[in-house]
Structure 1
């Protein structure tokens, strides 16, 4: 049985969570319905106004936060955290100086020089900011540098921080408060892109690949926030020891994606990882299109090695059968197929809800949203992995040109409407399409290198909704 959330924690309902009735809650990722017993309802009424203070409220708080229906709010810490800040660096003396200068000086700092070409410059910056320096003789990449750092750390908490980051004051202290939960292994802040006021810069500020949004979340594969980067991450050292492989925490064979691999191993070990966007850390972004797209290509190459290590966690597109049939019918201009698919989606969901004694009000609207999301997801998937086929349809597809255009332009235009960036729709859409193509090209390159097609395969989710049928206390 999972340990309850400790006394002193409060819970904050997720904005998308809905209390359907006095006994039923809907929300989370993946979407589910949670049913409360009388004891559960009593515990929730307590949690609405008070922190966890009993085994019953602690168990319910854990259940809600694990499901994504609510998020934990830690109690005020009793004192400063026992944390060491680790900064790996390679040939970035100026960026390192800016990074160390932004720290508040309250915690020890360890700089790992990953065989920089000018070690004296790195050493001077570290000494000037009172940081301890460890130098590697050969360049091994971020994973190897962090592994080296862990051999020199004795504190219970470790804060990894990339040298091109600019942290906010007391960022470690605010994140460290979450470790009052003994099951928490790691917590990440929001990465705020630092980019120039150019076309590429404004696009990056609106849709940076490391910026995971303004909503807190439990981090787990298949959820809204499936990973967090180690550009800025606070971890529990004892938790890292539970997922050590071959004497190392990070997989040094991975130059990209090693942070995703670590987060998923922590999840597989039954530990918790959280994303707290109330804490922000700036991260320097590429200043040119060439730099931006080449980085996206590199990120894409990590999909194949991650699939080798976590095949069940990799799915570029998750399709629910009936909405997928509806979208296929619409794209093929087959209205009868689309109508049959939508009817199947509505009837299937109503059957599922009735089996759980849940009202079916609003099912048609919910299925309309599911069809919309399936269309957007299919568009991004096709742009990333089948851009030449889309281009051919646009040029020679005849009656299928409109369908191809909707797949290509639908997702970026929806993103522009949602984010309202400082770019017009045309430039934003062009940037988003180029971004997706660059990432997809990296995925293809990685698949060819590692001889796997797992990162290219969509997955069908046959259960439209998870309903908790057991009585929970």
Structure 2
């Protein structure tokens, strides 16, 4: 099997009549020999097949599952880790008729365990009961160990997904280099203000654009809420005993091993988000604690910000808040564009591309400063605000602008004030979790930005 056709990403810039592509993961400028590339490219001969593979590997183009060969669901086993929560499990299994399912009871105490067993039996699912609670990573591994099919899906019990969605994800394995694919995770509804915020801006909703998943790229991880994998590519699977960020760890290990991981938002599954403030806040904090472990295992992958010297100078000029700040920031950005122009290949529009790239870098630097001040470093920013009026104005401005930009980007139906409050609580919870995890590990590597990145 192979991928017969790919579509250039909608976020990729096509220059020089399609002979130069800018984008991918990580961002790169690629000059293609031969004929120009349009919106699609087919593998019609050896040369075009190599070009398709190059674009796939660069994250510049993506296959459409509707154009790939169907894979029989007989080749798939669905693994569902569960601890209690009988009603969501019943709803999930009702939608998976005709698919082989292994329900892994992760040490649920009685009598709730008997309810799970009865639900699994009623829907024809195989039940594997663990003697003690080992966590979702170990539960998934246990289910995968008894699977005998080439492909395995990991699906949480609070997900609504059917055989059709899983079948569309399976089609992506026409790519022999693909190890893992995940769908878009959207909210299953809810009327509370927290549920409405989560439905618009959940941590597990990674957006509407297909992507190659890699560290330090726009889509850097996938949620284990719903994943489909090539079993032979996973080895022993998730890191045993890991209870937080086990999905991020798996994705990054696969990427480091040269395996492809893909995000497919044209397939969407529904997830029941937390709708009450206290459990929602606690879960966000819990997610943050995983950053310290990830920093220990993948030190180059998890950095809160990646800034080059010129962008640091540009940020310092802006934060000075003087009359000369904007002209100085613009001059620094134009200087970066001039240096960048010399490293770009000869082509039409080289100067315009350099300015565009430098401008994008400047906007990215401002966004990363906002994330540092409001999310990862907020305890330090809060202390600074006590002593500096300028810091108070900068942080307040970033907080308001960030929330409104996100509200408009996600098209949330929540009013601006409550979205602002939810957005800031989201960042406070996650940032507190990061600091807590760092204190426990006695290492603050997860909070250290990269200030001198390689080219």
Return closer, same or farther for 1:449/1:114 CA change in 2, 3 Å cut-off.
same
Does residue 1:345 correspond to 2:333, yes or no? yes
Separation of aligned partners in 2, 1:49 and 1:300: 39
Q: CA deviation at 1:335?
A: 4.9
8 A contact 1:191–1:281 mirrored in 2: yes
8 A contact 2:341–2:354 mirrored in 1: no
| Counterpart pick for 1:83 among 71, 76, 85 | 76
Separation of aligned partners in 1, 2:356 and 2:182: 35
Q: CA deviation at 1:351?
A: 2.8
In the alignment, which residue of structure 2 is the partner of 1:304? 292
In the alignment, which residue of structure 1 is the partner of 2:445? 454
8 A contact 2:120–2:127 mirrored in 1: yes
Q: CA deviation at 1:181?
A: 1.0
What SS class does the counterpart of residue 251 from structure 1 fall into?
coil
Separation of aligned partners in 2, 1:449 and 1:268: 27
| Counterpart pick for 1:357 among 346, 364, 389 | 346
Separation of aligned partners in 1, 2:307 and 2:31: 26
In the alignment, which residue of structure 1 is the partner of 2:305? 317
* Structure 2: runs of 5 or more not aligned: none
The 5 A counterparts of 1:105-124 are 105-117=97-109, 118-124=112-118
Q: CA deviation at 1:347?
A: 2.3
Q: CA deviation at 1:78?
A: 4.7
Does residue 1:51 correspond to 2:42, yes or no? yes
Separation of aligned partners in 2, 1:401 and 1:445: 25
**TM-score scaled by structure 2?**
0.93
Separation of aligned partners in 1, 2:184 and 2:149: 24
In the alignment, which residue of structure 1 is the partner of 2:401? 410
Separation of aligned partners in 1, 2:380 and 2:294: 26
140-149 or 160-169: bigger deviation: 160-169
325-334 or 228-237: bigger deviation: 325-334
Separation of aligned partners in 1, 2:391 and 2:83: 50
8 A contact 1:300–1:439 mirrored in 2: yes
| Counterpart pick for 1:333 among 305, 321, 337 | 321
Q: RMSD of aligned C-alpha atoms? A: 2.1
| Counterpart pick for 1:92 among 79, 85, 92 | 85
User: CA deviation digits over 1:288-345, x for unaligned, max 9?
Assistant: 1111110000100111111111111111111132223212211122454654443233
User: CA deviation digits over 1:419-468, x for unaligned, max 9?
Assistant: 2211121111111111001001101111111121111011135567xxxx
The 5 A counterparts of 1:3-402 are 7-22=2-17, 23-38=19-34, 41=35, 44=37, 51-74=42-65, 75-81=67-73, 82-103=75-96, 105-117=97-109, 118-241=112-235, 244=236, 249-336=237-324, 339-355=327-343, 356-358=345-347, 359-361=350-352, 363-364=354-355, 366-392=357-383, 394=385, 396-402=387-393
8 A contact 1:112–1:134 mirrored in 2: yes
Separation of aligned partners in 1, 2:300 and 2:123: 44
Separation of aligned partners in 2, 1:28 and 1:442: 31
What SS class does the counterpart of residue 358 from structure 2 fall into?
helix
In the alignment, which residue of structure 2 is the partner of 1:470? none
8 A contact 1:325–1:338 mirrored in 2: no
- Write out the 4+ residue segments of structure 1 that deviate beyond 6 Å after TM superposition: none
In the alignment, which residue of structure 2 is the partner of 1:467? none
What SS class does the counterpart of residue 95 from structure 1 fall into?
helix
8 A contact 1:86–1:158 mirrored in 2: yes
Separation of aligned partners in 2, 1:446 and 1:338: 38
Q: CA deviation at 1:373?
A: 2.7
439-448 or 60-69: bigger deviation: 60-69
What SS class does the counterpart of residue 395 from structure 2 fall into?
helix
**TM-score scaled by structure 1?**
0.89
In the alignment, which residue of structure 2 is the partner of 1:468? none
435-444 or 25-34: bigger deviation: 25-34
What SS class does the counterpart of residue 300 from structure 2 fall into?
helix
